[in-house]
Structure 1
Amino acid sequence: MWTEARELLRGAVAIPSVSGQEAEVAAYLQGWMAARGFEAHIDEAGNAVGARGHGPLTVVLLGHMDTVPGDIPVREEEGVLYGRGAVDAKGPLCAFMAAVAALPETALTRARFVVIGATEEEAPSSRGAHHAARRWQPDLVLIGEPSGWEGLTLGYKGRLVVRAQATCPNFHTAGEGRSAGDDLTEAWFRVRAWAAQAGEPGGVFGGVQATVQDLQASTDGLTQRAAGTFGLRLPPAVAPQAAEAAIREALADLDTVTLTFVGHETAVRHPKDNALTRALRVAIRAQGGTPVFKVKTGTSDMNVVAPHWPVPTLAYGPGDSALDHTPNEHLALAEYDRAVAVLTAALGALATGAAPCEAPKAR
């Protein structure tokens, strides 16, 4: 089992798959699943989809196979796999696939397990997740994101992207007046000031985080233009539509600035006591771990599917999320093995109804 599971991961990480360019890795994942008894296909969004089982319970395991740009030479050193996507998020997705492939027939007669390798999670479009949300109606959902093999992620912050552009006539810098850059800077200061007082006091998850993602300036000699992209991470208390309305009001008197808003993703936080979390906690303890609940300040496909799938949901997967998008992205293969074992045990228990409660904690 471990050899096959590791080879799956090595093969997936070795195939570049920047958002929008996932076709090759999708074909690889589809082929791996088809060879192991999955009903496997590539759907209309380019997702690699594989299903096993024919029971009444439907469990969707939604991971993503795309990555951010960045060429990290794929190599294995002392039991650690280096490469873009090893952590975010081919490691979690391959752990899903390996675990479902290992399930016994007793589990497959009582549940249907659908593994989805989604496209464009790292892009604002989230194309694969949006398509999956319309296609499937699961009873339980696992999102493939790095949580550490002992971690269970219950929620993610929401997101709003503000694209601001200031335009004004060109003038000599020795004269009086405000440049396009001045007005764009003023717009950013107001966005930042609003973010500082919005949300709930105490704790990063409850506040609004604001960052400058991009700045540009240009002139053709007649007109000045300055453009900026501001990213907002939103807590459950601040809906994206409310944030947009507040920012439009705060910048209403800056008549040189036009605003465009994209990426309206609402924050989500799921309950921590249900059949899904109980099964994972039992399985983690059986592997010698201590379950830890987490919430994340980023966003994931959990935000996309939550409005469509109001069912027990959590994110799980091997790897340290602090390595996401970094030049040093890597995953310890021993941790990956443990995550596969945890998932296999938890999914089997969910299918057979064998995980309604946990063993008492040691004192």
Structure 2
Amino acid sequence: MTTEAGIRPPPLLQDTHELLIQAVSIRSLSGQEGEVAEYLRGWMEARGFAAQVDAAGNAVGLRGNGPYTVALLGHMDTVPGEIAVRLDEDGVLHGRGSVDAKGALCTFMAAVAALPPEALQNVQFVVVGATEEEAPSSRGARHIMEVLQPDAVLIGEPSGWEGLTLGYKGRLVAQVRAEKDNFHTAGDGSSAADDLTEAWFRVRTWAAGSAEDVGIFDSVQATIQGINATGDGLTQRADATFGLRLPPRLSPQEAEAQIRELLANLPSVSVNFVGHETAVRHPKDNALTRAMRVAIRAHGGTPVFKVKTGTSDMNVVAPRWPVPTLAYGPGDSALDHTPEERLDLAEYDRAVQVLTDALTRLAASVS
């Protein structure tokens, strides 16, 4: 692969660049990851991994020998939205999934492929390209967490090559409906849309009250994700979806109970809750974070700890894998899901170098 300027990278970088470019070029919406899974499996197998596509459709590659196991869990699926895949003259790769999160997954694969023999003697590295992370099912992560019992976990999500993400907010989705008999708008009373709006005002006020004297990660965020009003002349109906981002101190179950109480005296309003994800925040000082910090500094960077207001497969696996965990990957997460999604290959290269160094250091420390 050459850039538009005709510059060809060195052979090792050329190999990892082609991995990423090809992975981004293969369309892989949630539930449609089969082609990219097979490509990633073949790439890993050709480079010494014991590789397979498992029962959940995950691309799984293993290198090294235990007893210490490091799981590197990324995801292969993307949200919808066609972006023409191209590498511009500045070495920036444009395409859906380049940042979220094939860039991180390919970083994992390239780094583990580059590990020296001594790093593989007492440590088993398992790279997982998971299915359906962008869907509520999180099918790949839910399958692999029943199979593995790792001692350390890396989640593949964009953080910037100097960034180490320790936590993600939780999530709850409220599907709210107001339904009542039709009436003349000149009469005294409220419409179904009025009652739905009152429900939203109550939820929004409740969320705003949680933000006093705390930062955004420790507060509730509430948004309307969709709204619709219909009627057949006899009844009125208004439906809306409220999306809630939850801090670690508030479980989805507790939030659900509080919202039900808020709306209890609105007889026309019913609510159904889905998408329960508990917030997670991991400690910043352990063998994994120390190895990553040292490696970032060794490559000229300044480590930055982060927490994110979204969710990831970290939320899914944390209850089953209570071990040192962080998310890492190149790219700007502000470009996730946008029409401008793109990744600078120079940053990708730096992330591969940092992670290879960090995993080598981690293997030495646990040996």
TM over 0.5: yes
What is the distance in 1 between the residues matched to 2:329 and 2:20? 13
What is the distance in 2 between the residues matched to 1:200 and 1:240? 20
1:27 correspondence with 2:38? yes
Q: Is the 8 A contact 2:52 2:60 kept in 1?
A: yes
Equivalent residue letter for 1:210: A
Alignment partner, residue 205 of structure 2: 193
Alignment partner, residue 341 of structure 2: 329
- Identity rate, percent: 72
What is the distance in 1 between the residues matched to 2:315 and 2:343? 25
RMSD value, Cα: 1.3
**C-alpha displacement at 1:152, in angstroms?**
0.4
What is the distance in 2 between the residues matched to 1:298 and 1:92? 17
Q: Is the 8 A contact 1:13 1:84 kept in 2?
A: yes
The 3-state SS of whatever aligns with 2:119 is helix
Equivalent residue letter for 2:335: L
Q: Deviation digits for residues 82-139 of structure 1, max 9, x if unmatched?
A: 0011000000000000111111211111111001111111111111111111111000
**C-alpha displacement at 1:170, in angstroms?**
2.1
Alignment partner, residue 148 of structure 2: 136
Alignment partner, residue 294 of structure 1: 306
Equivalent residue letter for 1:97: M
Alignment partner, residue 54 of structure 1: 65
Match for residue 244 of structure 1 among 250, 256, 262: 256
Flag as ranges the 4+ runs of structure 1 deviating above 4 A: none
Question: What are the residue-to-residue correspondences of 1:220-235 with 2, within 5 Å?
Answer: 220-235=232-247
Alignment partner, residue 194 of structure 2: 182
The 3-state SS of whatever aligns with 1:243 is helix
Indicate how the Cα distance of structure 1 residues 56 and 354 shifts in structure 2: closer, same or farther if over 3 A, else same.
closer
What is the distance in 2 between the residues matched to 1:26 and 1:181? 46
Alignment partner, residue 217 of structure 1: 229
Instruction: Report the more deviating stretch, 244-253 or 115-124.
Output: 115-124
Instruction: Report the more deviating stretch, 219-228 or 203-212.
Output: 219-228
Equivalent residue letter for 1:261: F
What is the distance in 1 between the residues matched to 2:248 and 2:138? 20
Q: Is the 8 A contact 1:201 1:207 kept in 2?
A: no
Relative to the length of structure 1, the TM-score reads: 0.95
Q: Deviation digits for residues 242-286 of structure 1, max 9, x if unmatched?
A: 100000000001111111111111111111111000100111111
Q: Is the 8 A contact 1:161 1:231 kept in 2?
A: yes
Q: Is the 8 A contact 2:226 2:241 kept in 1?
A: yes
Instruction: Report the more deviating stretch, 174-183 or 37-46.
Output: 174-183
What is the distance in 2 between the residues matched to 1:220 and 1:47? 46
For these two proteins, the number of residue pairs brought into alignment is 355
Relative to the length of structure 2, the TM-score reads: 0.94
Match for residue 111 of structure 2 among 81, 99, 102: 99
What is the distance in 2 between the residues matched to 1:123 and 1:11? 23
**C-alpha displacement at 1:344, in angstroms?**
0.6
What is the distance in 2 between the residues matched to 1:126 and 1:200? 33
What is the distance in 1 between the residues matched to 2:334 and 2:365? 35
Give structure 1 stretches of 5+ with no counterpart. Answer: 356-363
What is the distance in 1 between the residues matched to 2:283 and 2:325? 8
Equivalent residue letter for 1:170: N
**C-alpha displacement at 1:354, in angstroms?**
7.9
Q: Deviation digits for residues 26-57 of structure 1, max 9, x if unmatched?
A: 11111111111111111121111111111211
